[in-house]
Amino acid sequence: MKNYKLTFLFLLFSIMLCVAQEDKIIGEWLLTKVEVGDKIEQPYYITNFSKNGHMIVMGMGAGTWEFDKKANKIVMKSELDKDFNGDNSIISISNKELVVTKDEAKLYYLKVDQKNIESENKASGFVGEWKLINETNQTQLLKIELPNLFTFNEILEVSSTTTTGTWMYNSKEKKVIFIGRTRLFDGESTVKEISENKFIIDHNGLEIMGEKNTSNVTIERLNFTFEDLPEESTEDSPWTDFDVLLNKLSNVKHLKYKQGRLINGTNSFVYSTLLSTVKVNSNDRRVHLNNFSITQNDTLQYSESVKGYLYNEYNNFFPQEEPYPFKVINTEPVTVAAGTFNCKIVEGFEGDSKIKFWMIIDQPGVYAKIIREEIDPFGDLDYLVIELEEIK
């Protein structure tokens, strides 16, 4: 009887150990290091071993897992990636660290404590929008949010990329970890300096500096719909007289505009210059604009605008396209870099794009300001603000 009780207690204790071991595995783990022989990699991605046996890697369902108590190993099954498949023999496990071997690799995990991360991140000083300082003409903007999300935008002359991910700060070690696919600062970095308006981090010997973006630009969203606009406008464009347009533009050599494109996921803009050279032939009753885009690297002609010889004959919004439908909202002064102008304000659609025009009443053909917005095929907001800088 005594031996029976001892055997029962031993089995009960073994079961409790196995349950405790499995409970330790459940949760989120950050893979910080992989050793294969003399080679060391630092992949930095999060794996969630959920209680129901599902395995989630970087927010995506990657397969299933189970604990083999006899062999003391984690068995992973995945159709998403063969690297997730296989047996992971446990070398050591605690409430903070998990070390396993898989094939010829040794993998090191750290337990993710979301409450501690949120507390550390909140006190870090990293939250906000930062413009990265570099020696290229590339605009790089890093938006860091609570509790642990970041958005990284890289804007080139002809394209842009947006990367999202998570981040965590360690105040004790003065380290910050970015988990995403930025390539520039993915993984762990040492914080060399952090203040209200500036940070400097060292990522694998590369010093990265950010300056706080303090832009206070007001983003005016165009919230009207097709149903808000009449099928036929009850008020026309203020520029219905072609002779006045010819007369006014005959005194203009060029029009210079500042164009700002909203950087996706931020409150910041990347800017370029639009220049329209103006040529008027009063005898032929014809006006011609060559339109150029000027950036740090190049000047490119992107379009021509012509009115006369039956071209744009009935377009009283020239040199812009006539919107449909549209509505004249009101008349009010607007101040831009080129000055203060009394304008007719028009809202309407150009295809799927919403537009808002500030049309200078006594200067036909010249817009003080234009807002254009639409939702791109990926569901992101494409938002432009164009303001008059100079009439010469």
Q: Quick one: 162 and 251 in the same domain? A: no
* Per-residue pLDDT at 326: 94
- Which has the closest alpha carbon to 222: 40, 125, 355? 355
* Per-residue pLDDT at 159: 65
CATH number of domain containing 360? 2.40.360
Order of strands, edge to edge, in the sheet holding 353-360?
Answer: 299-307, 286-294, 269-281, 254-262, 381-391, 367-375, 353-360, 339-350, 326-336
Q: What distance in Å separates the CA atoms of residue 141 and residue 211, rounded to the nearest whole number?
A: 10
What's the domain count of the chain? 3
Q: What distance in Å separates the CA atoms of residue 184 and residue 180, rounded to the nearest whole number?
A: 10
- Show the domain range for 121: 114-212
Q: Quick one: 237 and 328 in the same domain? A: yes
Q: Quick one: 305 and 191 in the same domain? A: no
Domain boundary at 81, 111, 141, which?
111
- The CA–CA distances, whole Å, from 127 to 139, 143, 146, 265 equal 19, 8, 7, 15
Tell me if the pTM is above 0.75: no
Q: Which amino acid is present at 211?
A: E
- The CA–CA distances, whole Å, from 323 to 95, 246, 308, 362, 384 equal 63, 22, 20, 21, 16
* Per-residue pLDDT at 334: 96
In a domain, 161, yes or no: yes
* Per-residue pLDDT at 290: 94
81 Cα distance to chain centroid: 27
Q: Quick one: 198 and 340 in the same domain? A: no
Q: Quick one: 104 and 124 in the same domain? A: no
Q: Quick one: 76 and 137 in the same domain? A: no
Q: Quick one: 259 and 354 in the same domain? A: yes
Q: What distance in Å separates the CA atoms of residue 39 and residue 200, rounded to the nearest whole number?
A: 29
Domain boundary at 54, 78, 111, which?
111
In a domain, 346, yes or no: yes
Domain boundary at 94, 111, 128, which?
111
In a domain, 219, yes or no: no
Q: Quick one: 262 and 339 in the same domain? A: yes
Q: Quick one: 58 and 77 in the same domain? A: yes
Q: Quick one: 175 and 242 in the same domain? A: no
In a domain, 217, yes or no: no
* Per-residue pLDDT at 15: 37
Q: Quick one: 247 and 187 in the same domain? A: no
- The rounded average pLDDT for each run of 10 residues, N- to C-terminus, in the chain (392 residues) is 38 41 87 92 90 88 90 90 87 92 92 93 94 79 93 76 91 94 89 95 94 79 92 86 93 94 81 93 92 84 89 92 93 96 96 96 96 88 94 93
Q: Quick one: 196 and 135 in the same domain? A: yes
* Per-residue pLDDT at 18: 45
In a domain, 218, yes or no: no
In a domain, 328, yes or no: yes
In a domain, 220, yes or no: no
In a domain, 174, yes or no: yes
CATH number of domain containing 194? 2.40.128.280
